[in-house]
A and B are shown apart, each in its own frame.
Chain A
Amino acid sequence: MTELTLVQAVNRGLFEAMRSDPDVLVLGEDVGVNGGVFRATEGLYKEFGADRVIDTPLSETGIVGTAIGMALYGLKPVAEIQFLDFIYPAFDQIVSELSKFRYRSGGQYPCHVVIRSPYGGGIRGGLYHSQSTEAYFCHTAGLKVVVPSTPADAKGLLLTAIHDEDPVLFLEPKRIYRSVTGEVPDGDGRVPFGTARLVREGTDVSLFAYGAMVPPTSEAAEKLAGEGISAEVIDLRSLVPLDEASVVASVQKTGRAVVVHEAARFCGFGGEVAAVLAEKAFYSLKAPIARVTGYDTPFPYALENLYLPNADTIMHAARSTVKAG
């Protein structure tokens, strides 16, 4: 075990994958000589050289499009999109091409690209360095979407993504890149997709979160315990595939559910979690499902702390579900 920050764990995962498999390569803007604007690819260029750590011209569609071409040849490209806010020029490549290659070719052309992208608010990034738009991608069949919240999961999910056979969008909560540290297994330590992580057990209400929302959700659960409310915290971490069984089982136990994400509410991922619970845990529910989310506005600069969920707003929602029934 080694104590690492989340971004160090990403870096460690990339090193290990590239050392163990010569087909793995990294490409993106500033990922080479500069080591990435967040330093996630620090040191890779020096060890693996310019053919495997590729500084690209500034074009997201070019990054993902060329990564697709490399994957069609059988390589395992890990593309970095510098901020999720800048991914939209590549949206066509992701939605129309990457996620559909296997299907439309009848399995002749699997297309295994991992796209890493820092996402989310709380870093004074304003409209275009803060957004959390995972729902666009979760809606696309053929693509997997995962979001770690701990260093161990960052490395473990990244290694799973790189060794998976399907395209994966790997979202990195940049707000907690350095504020969260944790023990990371020195070995492979892969974390399977489709498995939620039980952060804290509880009996009165289930709090579902992922990425940078896990720390404030855990803080809320801790404080709720002081009020006599036993909150269970589940880190979804794999949005596609979703661990529906764990989500449903938790609410069958607690009877109450709060879904937390920093993305806007309308058509956000929380709506999908709520729908799963309505379909599969309806008769266990003692109270309406609550959502604690960003506002249905563009992401603000000056008022970002008002926009983002925090321990207080999560606690408020949890209390309301307990009071309701």
Chain B
Amino acid sequence: MNSGPTIVPLPYKASEVEAAIGSNWPSILLSAYRWMVLGRTLDARMQALQRQGRVGFYGASTGHEAVNVAAGLATEADDWIFPGLREQLVALVRGHSLVTYAHHLFADDLDPGRGRNMPCHPTASEVHYVSMSSVIGTQISHAVGLAHALRSRSAPGVVLAFFGDGGTSSNDFHAGLNFAGVWRLPVVFCCANNQWAISVPVERQTAATSLASKADAYGFGGSRVDGTDFVAVYRALREALAAARSNAGPKLLEFVVYRMTPHSSADDPTRYQPADWAARAASHDPVGRLEAWLFAHQGLTEPARSRFKAEAEEQVREAVRVAEETPPPRPGSLTEDVYAPAVSSRAPKGR
């Protein structure tokens, strides 16, 4: 296995992992690992298909897997996800079908979003994964409004708002965190700080000592978390979710991760990233870090690792096959869903 770069090991004994995430830690870690392998496999396959011209666009989440899988596993069914560009794995872990997601990536007739949004912008309402735009930060105030609705209805659920380091400079970061602080709402703000907003490094994004420290200005807590350490991410999320459920108000979590791919399929990072970035990122590969720990502490074996990888590849291959056989959306759907269907065009109820 260890033919790649030196991985920074996860700094835990098994007993410390149990203390951090509970007695069912072995099954959580194994499940997390398998989801992370699926995410990594999907990213690799889709980037290849994009280069072949079979998918129009792709924004990989390579390097973000620990955050996304932890969010998927740590949340409950009645929680809500307001994603940014790199959180589709959260939807999959929460139960969105990989085949359905492939229909979205191929923008075909069975895409629930009907092929209107770019790839990597899925809508998965069945798992409370809300439709996103490509505008940065706007979803943050949506998350806050939904949390207000939950609380005003005494409904269960916490809202997770995802955004990147660039998103912390947006109008709605300020508006959303400010409103949430004033109203003390059950929102966990999840900043995936991958240290690059396309070409702009995070130190050119803010003069603050950390992105997490921005929470101080809004009257609630913020924490910086190693976003490539699944155990740390899962623990931080569980604590923030529990606090929000008990009406302790919002929380800002800054997950420091490494963007291990270009910003998107339309980007060339050699124009702006330093030569040693790839090696630094690879040493903090969240999949590699968890995998190494599982080898050392949980009895993961090479045959099992190979089997998990092969199964993930088969799942992705099958999803791609099904999607590529599906025709594009009907031309008539171009003008549907702009407005609600007119009353006169609705089928009569018959009673």
Contacts and interface: CB of A to CB of B under 8 A. Distances in A.
Contacts of A144: 339
A73 interface: yes
B112 A65 contact: no
Interface in A105-140: 105-110
Interface in A3-58: 25, 51-52, 54, 56-57
Nearest to A99: B338
A102 B337 contact: yes
Interface residues of A, number: 44
A217 to B, nearest CB: 29
Given A69-B147, A73-B150, A96-B138, A105 B125 contact: yes
A75 interface: yes
A144 B171 CA distance: 25
B145 A69 contact: yes
Contacts of A73: 145-146, 149-150, 153
B313 interface: no
A110 B178 contact: no
A72 B121 contact: no
A93 interface: yes
A59 B175 contact: yes
Interface residues of B, number: 41
Contacts of B213: none
A112 B327 CA distance: 31
Contacts of A72: 130, 142, 145-146
A69 B337 contact: no
B140 interface: yes
A109 B112 contact: no
A66 B116 CA distance: 24
B179 interface: yes
Contacts of A77: 145
A144 to B, nearest CB: 8
A92 B171 contact: yes
11 contacts: A57-B182, A68-B141, A70-B145, A71-B145, A73-B153, A92-B135, A97-B138, A102-B337, A102-B339, A106-B116, A165-B339
The 3 closest A-B pairs by CB, nearest first: A69-B145, A65-B141, A66-B145
